[in-house]
């Protein structure tokens, strides 16, 4: 694959010496047999518990970004709640993801910075919280969150939306289907040699695939 060849100049990550099961939060959401089908490198990424406020940095490059017409407008519209979806079609641009341990919530803060050939980079913030009916949800801002189901498919770790919610003070309201973008799926696929692919798909039950973005990463701070 041509893209894979372009990232080989990065040095190989240092040997991993942390405990495999230092953080059991993701592992606890899966049956043992499913977790056991994941590559060891994926275990390590999702079993690394950070100290409060500590951050892991992943660097990579966007390899695909596709939008239907409705998907592009959806991405622009979500800027009203902080812009949780990618908005650009450029490929071959750098992207950086940081994962920071949030001591207050017991979850993780994810920040994605996607460069553009001109202008400022797009920055997307979200927080993964180990809570709710499925045990995992993602908060994107302005009171909007989504429950997530986690599974293993073809040795990849898959996160699927399982309902969207609006939080207003103490109230938590399920959003009706007509206000939701459809099914959101994020797939983490290990590629070996320290590299992995993150793929985002948004599929509407009536309008089909709205957004598909994929990028290849490696850890910058092993």
Is the pLDDT confidence value at 16 over 60? no
pLDDT for 58-91, tens place per residue? 999 999 999 999 999 999 999 999 899 999 999 9
Task: Please state which of the ranges 20-34, 78-92, 106-120 shows the lowest mean pLDDT.
Answer: 20-34
CA-nearest of 146, 136, 92, 138 to 114 is 92
Q: Distance between CA atoms of 93 and 33, rounded to whole angstroms? A: 37
pLDDT of residue 3: 44
pTM of the model: 0.87
Residue 17 banded pLDDT, cuts 50, 70, 90: very low
pLDDT of residue 221: 62
Higher pLDDT, 75 or 17: 75
Secondary structure class of 115 (helix, strand, coil): coil
pLDDT of residue 1: 46
Where are the extended beta strands (E) located within the chain?
55-67, 94-102, 107-114, 122-129, 137-141, 144-153, 156-168, 171-174, 183-192, 195-204, 208-219
Residue 194 banded pLDDT, cuts 50, 70, 90: very high
Q: Who contacts 47 (Cβ-Cβ below 8 Å, separation ≥6)?
A: 19, 20, 21, 22, 23, 24, 26, 27
Domains and CATH numbers, the chain: 20-219 (2.40.128.20)
pLDDT of residue 22: 78
Is the pLDDT confidence value at 128 over 90? yes
pLDDT of residue 105: 83
Question: Residue holding tokens 């406020």?
Answer: 53
Count CA within 13 A, CB hemisphere, residue 138: 19
Averaged pLDDT score across all residues of the chain? 89
pLDDT for 165-190, tens place per residue? 999 999 999 999 999 999 999 999 99
């Amino acid at each position: 694959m041509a893209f894979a060849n372009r990232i080989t100049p990065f040095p190989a990550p240092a040997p991993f010496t942390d405990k495999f099961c230092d953080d059991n939060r993701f592992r606890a959401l899966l049956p043992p047999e499913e977790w056991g089908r994941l590559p060891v490198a994926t275990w390590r990424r999702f079993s690394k518990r950070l100290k409060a406020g500590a951050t892991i940095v992943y660097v990579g490059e966007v390899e695909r970004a596709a939008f239907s017409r409705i998907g592009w407008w959806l991405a622009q519209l979500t800027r009203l709640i902080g812009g949780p979806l990618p908005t650009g079609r450029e490929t071959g641009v750098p992207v950086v993801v940081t994962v920071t341990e949030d001591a207050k919530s017991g979850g993780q803060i994810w920040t994605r910075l996607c460069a553009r050939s001109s202008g400022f980079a797009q920055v997307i913030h979200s927080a993964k919280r180990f809570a709710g009916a499925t045990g995992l949800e993602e908060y994107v801002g302005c009171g909007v969150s989504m429950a997530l189901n986690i599974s293993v498919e073809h040795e990849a770790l898959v996160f699927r939306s399982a309902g969207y919610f609006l939080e207003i003070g103490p109230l938590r309201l399920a959003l009706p289907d007509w206000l939701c973008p459809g099914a959101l799926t994020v797939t983490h696929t290990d590629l070996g040699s320290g590299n992995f692919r993150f793929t985002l798909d948004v599929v509407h039950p009536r309008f089909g695939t709205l957004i598909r973005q994929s990028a290849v990463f490696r850890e910058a701070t092993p």
